[in-house]
Every structure is written in structure tokens, then in C-alpha cells.
Amino acid sequence: IQPEIEFLSRELSKCRDVLYLGRGTSFPLAMEGALKLKEISYIHAEGYAAGELKHGPIALIDENMPVIVIAPHDRLFDKTVSNMQEVAARGGRIILITDEKGAAVSKLETMHTLVLPVVDEIIAPMIFSLPIQLLAYHTALFMGTDVDQPRNLAKSVTVE
């Protein structure tokens, strides 16, 4: 999966904006993916619940907007596929992160599909977080940013 991530990261490093979509437990992953990409590569990225696509972000989608969809094959998969169809209809370039079952049943054409092993739904967020973090990391490397000391970020601890 490493060569695929590096290829996608090179493509993402050419973008100004990236949209992340997820449903259920994949929604926080979409938000985290967008945050990591923003923090270390300085690319504008937003994470949205896939069900909220029609409430704003759909207006931004065109052929210049990569849309990273986090969609393990779970009870919400078919609804997420419906959202991907909406993205595809607007020319959005879909990067699908799914598992072997999802890849087998998804009929949509994507820019790329990262296929992960099928795991129990309870641990899927941990497994799916890895390629999301690696995409941000390698994108930042291709852009030449300092991933160890991102600009304008500082650790902070609140003491009460």
C-alpha cells in the first residue's frame, strides 16, 4: 500500500483543496484526515459527514477537487456509495479508502482505490486511520514542508 500512498500523495501535493467524507465511525476519520493534511501540508482540507454533502460542500466539487472517501464495507456503505455517485456526477476525483468487500462491490470509477483488509467494525477506525495519516505525511514531504515542526502550531497544556 506504501507505493500507492506515495503516488496519491504526489497528486494531492498539486491540489489547493481536498474534501474528506465519511459516515458513522468514518466521519471522525474524515475530520482527522483533513486536519492532518492542513496542519502539515498547508493544503485547505475539510472533513464532512457524507450525509451532509448536499448542505454546502457539494457546491465546491469539480474536476479540481479530490474527494477522499473513507468507506469500510459496513451497514452504511451503500449510502456512502450514493454520495460518491453525486461526487462523480460533478466531476470530482474520488480517492476511495475501503476494504476488500467494499472494493469488490463498488462499481464506481475512482481516481484510485486503497484497499485495506476486512476487519471487525470495532477496530476498523484504527486500521483506516493509518493510510489517512500516511497520505498527509507523504503529501507534506512532496511539498517540502517540515512535518516535525509545522508552522504556527504549538503544543499546549491547560492547567486548572
- Percent with pLDDT over 90 in the chain: 86
* pTM, to two decimals: 0.93
Average pLDDT of span 152-158: 69
Average pLDDT of span 66-85: 96
Q: Helix 124-143 to helix 2-12 angle, to the nearest 10 degrees?
A: 50
Average pLDDT of span 14-43: 97
pLDDT for the residue numbered 107: 87
pLDDT surpasses 80 at 158: no
**d(Cα 110, Cα 123) in Å, to the nearest integer?**
25
Q: Given this structure, which CATH class describes domain 2-143?
A: alpha beta
Indicate the pLDDT class of residue 153, thresholds 50, 70 and 90.
Answer: confident
